[in-house]
Every structure is written in structure tokens, then in C-alpha cells.
Structure 1
């Protein structure tokens, strides 16, 4: 396996710039997820890594090799597509072996590699079936098996689960996680699904309009998003972004925002002394994850309940604050519409953003 370095990569189609100086570096054995909505440039970036798209400017290195001008076959990569791309007239065994056969790998070695991949992916009993006899999840396993037997330096996955139903997606996420753990492989994985990103990745690059908005470990991206776009995109329900203000305070920083039932005051927000001093008395955007509200402890957010949504393991409560709709995720609780409550907030989990740039304040 190998590290991957993407340095100042740009891609344009005429005057339309799809990628705008992308910089990403991951180590040997990392699982990088390129996360973002349709049209953000993530699939274009994957195709550039694969050699399926020409690069306008910048460098792509796989291991220590500059691969800008290398064709896909010389990059030592294996790609798993959304569409499976299996040969319908071949058996599972023949599909997995086909690439090795083309490269002149001896039959005995092909058979051994195929059996090993099938055992790893729990499909040894399917080797003599045709793709038409398989479920979507089984077909995706075959596509993964075909990639595994190549022993590439880099695995590339292009939204491999998007054609599967919800349960199969969960099952296949587990399979891909297990595959990564067993192989120690370096993987680049494209998705618009932030649950896939959080569960699979060791590194996440959140993209928008051809720009990497935040690159980091999944928990860092979730807890300390670089800007309000990342805050809203990662997490379900999304982080609440509430217009408020930072108050002058001799002690721990305190933020305030209005509710229909009075002012909410949250003390003990994590902020550097310099930023606290510079923004004292100024407007800020207050970011609070839904699960960081509770009905326990000292209630500092007085509100009236607008909507209650029981989900089984938890209850979503919707209310108004700062002129916007806010969602709290609580342990199962019975609340009535219009009921007056006071929520406590985990102050050390609150994230503040500059309302002009929408970037995080540290």
C-alpha cells in the first residue's frame, strides 16, 4: 500500500473551474472519504487520481511516484464503481479472475487468489453463479473481490453503495470496514452520505464548489467544523446555527441569544482569550449539536416546545431561538406541544462562528 499526496490540484473545463487548488495528504493505510453533494468535484478528483481525467495543474503522487502523466493501468490502483461493472455471461469466479488472466497470471495462482478473496468477503458459495443470480450486495462483493486480487497500492471506491437499499448499505459498510482492517489498505472513497464518511473514514475531506472546506479526522470534522457549511452538512440532524452575541466577561466566555421566552445565556464556551477579547460585545453564530441539549442540570435556554418527534432510541424536540428553528435530541421523553421547558447546554461543546466569514472562531 502507499501514501497519497494531492498538491495544488486544479481542474477546468474551458472557463469552468471544477477543482480549485485541492491539497490533501494521507498516509499508508489511511481511509480517505471525499464527502460532499453532487457537483462539488469529489468524483472528478477521484477520476484524476485514477488517471481517467487529465489534470489542469498541480501534482498527484501515489507513494513517491508522480503519476500526472501515467495511464490508469500503470498507476497500480483498483477501482470499485457504483454500477458493479460485472460481465453478465461470466461466473463470479471468472469475473474475479478476469483481470489476472489478462495480465498473464498462472491459473493456479489465479485460483488461489480468487478463493482467498471469496473467503474474505464471505462469498465462497457464490463462485459458480452468474451476476444475474446475485443480489445487489453480492454483486458489490464481487466487484470488491475483483479489486482485492490485484493487490494494488491504492483502492478507489466511487459511491459503491448508492444503488443499494438502506439495510444493504449498512451491511456493506460493515464489509468495507472489515476489508480495510484486514488488508490495511489505502482507500479513497467518494460519497455524499455523511454517515458513510463518519463510520468508514480515518480522514474526511468535505468539499463544496471544488474547494476542500475541511480536511481532518471524522470526529474533529464533527466536533469542530471549520465553517457553517461543514457544520450543517455533517450530522443528522445538522448542527443548529443560532444568531447570538458574545458578552463581555471577566471569566469564561458567555454567549447569549434570544428566545420567545427570554434570553438564553451559556457560560463557559471554549474560546481563546484573544478571540474572546476581539469579539466581546459583537454578534456571533452559535453552533450547538442537537445532542448537546438536555433537560438535566441548570436550564439556561427557556423555550416553548413546537414539535415533538419520537424516533425510538431518542426524541427530537423542535423549538425557536434566535429567529431560527432549533432541534434538540433527547433521551426518550414525553413533552407536549406548547410546553414550557428550560434546556441545559454542554457549554464546552458549543462552537462559535464569525457571522461575516462563517468560519469557526477558536
Structure 2
């Protein structure tokens, strides 16, 4: 396996710049997820790593080796595609062995590697079937098995689960997680699904318009998003972003925001003395995750419930505050629309943003 360094990588098609000085580095054995909506540049970046796209500027290093001008076959990578890319006339066994056969590996070694991959992916009984006889999840296992037997320095996954139904996606996420744990592989994985990113990654690069908005661990990206775009993109339901103000005080940092039933004051918000002084008695954007509200009759947030959405394990309650519709995720409870209540907020979990730049305040 190998490290991966993406240094000031740019990609343009004529006058259209689709990647703008991307910088990402991961260590040997890490699982990097490139996360973002369609058109953000994540698949283009993956194709540049693979050698399927030419680079306009910058460098890509795999294991400390600059690979900008190397063809894909010389980069020691294995790629798993969204469409599986299996040979329809070959059996599963033949599909897995095909790349090894081309490279001149002996029949004995091919059989040994194929057996090990099939056992790892629980598809020993499928080796003599054709792709047309397999489910979508089974085909994806074959594509993964074909990648495993190459023993590459780097695995690349291009939205491998997007063609599967919801249950199969969950099952295959588990398989890919197990694969990473067993192999200790270095993996780059492209997806627009933030649940996949949070469950699989050791590092996440959230992208928008060819720019990495936030690069860090999944928990860092979730708890301390770099800006409001990341805050809204990662999390389901998304982080609530309210308009509020920093209350002038020499004590704990306090934010205020309006609700339909009066002003809410929340004290103990984490903020550096420098930022607190800079934004003293000024407008800020207040970020609160839905699960950081609590049902508290003595709580700091007066509100009227606008909508209730029971989901089984919890209840989503919608109300108005800070000029926005706000979602609170609570333990299952019986509450009806129109109810007036007071909610508590976990102040230590609140994230503040600059209303002009929409970047996080530290």
C-alpha cells in the first residue's frame, strides 16, 4: 500500500476550470472519501489519480512517486467502477483471473489468489456463474475481487454503490468497510452520499465547484464544519443555521436569536477570546445540529411546534427560529402541532459562523 499526495492540482477544459488547486494528503492505509454533489469535480480528481485524465497543473504522488505522466497501467492502482465493468461472456472466476492472466501469472497462482478473494468476499459458490446470473451486489463483489487480486498500492472506487437499492447499499458498505480492515488498504472513494462518507472514511474531502471546502476526519467535518456549505451538506437532517447575535458580556459567550415565541439566549458557546471580542454585539450565524436540542420545560428556547415527524427511533420537531425553519431530533415523544414548549440546547456543541464569509469562527 502507499501514501497519496495531491499537490496544487488543477484541471481545466479550455477556459473552464473544474479543479482549483486541490491539496490533499493521506497516509498509508487510510480511507479517503471525496464527497460532494454532481459537478463538484470529485470524479475528475479520481480520474486524474487513475491516469484517465490529463493534469493541467500540480502533482499527484503515489508512494512518494510523481505519476503525472505515467499511464494507468504503470501506476499500480486498481479501480472499481459504478457500472461494474465485467466481461459478460466470462464466468466470475474468469473475470477475476483475467488481469492476472494478461500479466503472465501462472495458473496455480491465479487459482490461489482467486480462491482467497472469493473467500474474503463470501462468493465461493458464485465462481462458475456468469454476470447475468448475479444480483447487483454480487456483481459489485466480483468487481472488488478483481481489484483485490492485483494487490495494488492504491484502490480507487468510483461511486460503486449508486446502482444498488437502499438495503444492498447498506450491506455493501459493510463489505467495503471489512475489506479495508482486512487488507489495510489505501483507498480513495468517490460518493455524493454523506452517510457513506461518515461510515467508511478515515478522512473526508468535501468538495464544491472544484475546491476542497473541508478536509479532515469525519467527526471533525461533522462537529466543526469549515463553513456553512459543509455544515448543511454533511448531516441528515442538516445542521440548522440561524441568524443571531453575540451578546455583549464579560462572562461566558452568549448568543441570542428570535423564535416565534420570543428571544432565546444560550450561554456557554465555545469561541476564542479573539473572535468573541471581534463579534461582540454583532450578528453571527448560529449552527445547531438537530440532535443537540433537548426537550426541557425549563429550556432556553421558547417555541411553537410547526410540524412533527415520527421516524420510529426518534421524533423530528420543526419550528421557526432565527429566520429559518429549524429541525430538532428528539427521543420518541407525543407532541402535537401548535404546542408551545421550551427546548434546551447543548451550548457546547454550537458552532458559530461569520455572516459575511460564512466561514466557521474559532
TM-score by length of 2: 1.00
* 1:295-335 Cα shifts (integer Å, max 9, x gaps): 13740010000000000000000000012100000000011
Please give the residue correspondences for 1:213-362 in structure 2 after superposition, counting only pairs within 5 Å: 213-296=213-296, 298-362=298-362
For residue 47 of structure 1, report the CA deviation from its aligned partner. Answer: 0.1
Q: 2-side partners of 1:324 and 1:24: how far apart?
A: 34
Q: 2-side partners of 1:116 and 1:165: how far apart?
A: 28
Q: Residue 62 of structure 2 corresponds to which residue in structure 1?
A: 62
For residue 33 of structure 1, report the CA deviation from its aligned partner. Answer: 0.0
Q: Residue 165 of structure 1 corresponds to which residue in structure 2?
A: 165
Q: Residue 208 of structure 1 corresponds to which residue in structure 2?
A: 208
Q: 2-side partners of 1:249 and 1:155: how far apart?
A: 52
* 1:30-70 Cα shifts (integer Å, max 9, x gaps): 00000000000000000000000000000000001100000
Give the conservation status (yes or no) of the 8 Å contact 2:352–2:361: yes
Q: Residue 184 of structure 2 corresponds to which residue in structure 1?
A: 184
Q: 1-side partners of 2:348 and 2:59: how far apart?
A: 40
For residue 260 of structure 1, report the CA deviation from its aligned partner. Answer: 1.2
Q: Residue 90 of structure 1 corresponds to which residue in structure 2?
A: 90
Q: 1-side partners of 2:124 and 2:195: how far apart?
A: 29
1:195 and 2:195 correspond: yes
- Local SS of the residue matching 2:43: helix
Q: 2-side partners of 1:341 and 1:141: how far apart?
A: 51
1:142 and 2:145 correspond: no
Q: 2-side partners of 1:269 and 1:226: how far apart?
A: 17
Q: 2-side partners of 1:298 and 1:124: how far apart?
A: 60
Q: 1-side partners of 2:264 and 2:190: how far apart?
A: 40
Q: Residue 102 of structure 1 corresponds to which residue in structure 2?
A: 102
Q: Residue 25 of structure 1 corresponds to which residue in structure 2?
A: 25
TM-score by length of 1: 1.00
Stretches of structure 2 lacking an aligned partner (at least 5 in a row):
none
For residue 14 of structure 1, report the CA deviation from its aligned partner. Answer: 0.2
Q: 1-side partners of 2:274 and 2:46: how far apart?
A: 40
* 1:126-153 Cα shifts (integer Å, max 9, x gaps): 0000000100000000000000000000
Please give the residue correspondences for 1:32-47 in structure 2 after superposition, counting only pairs within 5 Å: 32-47=32-47
1:121 and 2:82 correspond: no
Q: 2-side partners of 1:341 and 1:130: how far apart?
A: 60
Q: Residue 8 of structure 1 corresponds to which residue in structure 2?
A: 8
Q: Residue 130 of structure 1 corresponds to which residue in structure 2?
A: 130
Q: Residue 154 of structure 1 corresponds to which residue in structure 2?
A: 154
Give the conservation status (yes or no) of the 8 Å contact 2:297–2:342: no
Q: 2-side partners of 1:298 and 1:187: how far apart?
A: 48
Q: 1-side partners of 2:298 and 2:127: how far apart?
A: 61
**Stretches of 4+ aligned residues off by more than 6 angstroms:** none
Q: 1-side partners of 2:285 and 2:298: how far apart?
A: 22
Q: 2-side partners of 1:131 and 1:205: how far apart?
A: 34
Q: 2-side partners of 1:333 and 1:272: how far apart?
A: 37
Give the conservation status (yes or no) of the 8 Å contact 2:263–2:302: yes
Give the conservation status (yes or no) of the 8 Å contact 2:297–2:341: no
